[in-house]
Amino acid sequence: MNEPGTGTTATPVEERLRAALAARAHSVGPADLRPLRPPSRPARIRSVPVRRAVVGVLALAAVAALVFFALRGGESRPAGPARSPHPPIGTPSPVPSAVSPSAARPTPSTPTPSTPGP
């Protein structure tokens, strides 16, 4: 909304809104207001049974969770290795021979590294 002294004119909607809010504010007087009623009973009395019920439900849930995990954890075993349902059929794989790296000989086409002399 436009503030007084900004130099801009208010639109008709803004003027009508200001007039309506001012009329509403002036229509309420001290005779229309009344003091609050005192509470009929303390609020803590109402909340005590609710608190007890919530604490009881939470305690039961904690006990149930402990029993569930205690019974479940005692019987668990790791799964055995996976096996095929039928024995393998086919030729056995060849056994690799033991060849040491030092026994390998260079072929004549392989160049040998030259070492510089002192």
Q: What is the dihedral of CA 102, 107, 111, 115, to 10 degrees?
A: 30
H or E element, residue 65: helix 43-74
The model's pLDDT over 36-73, given as tens digits with 9 standing for 90+, comes to: 888 776 666 567 888 899 999 999 999 999 998 887 76
Terminal alpha carbon distance of the chain: 96
- Is the pTM higher than 0.85? The answer reads no
Mean pLDDT of the chain: 76
Question: Within 13 A of 1's CA, how many CA atoms are on the CB side?
Answer: 9
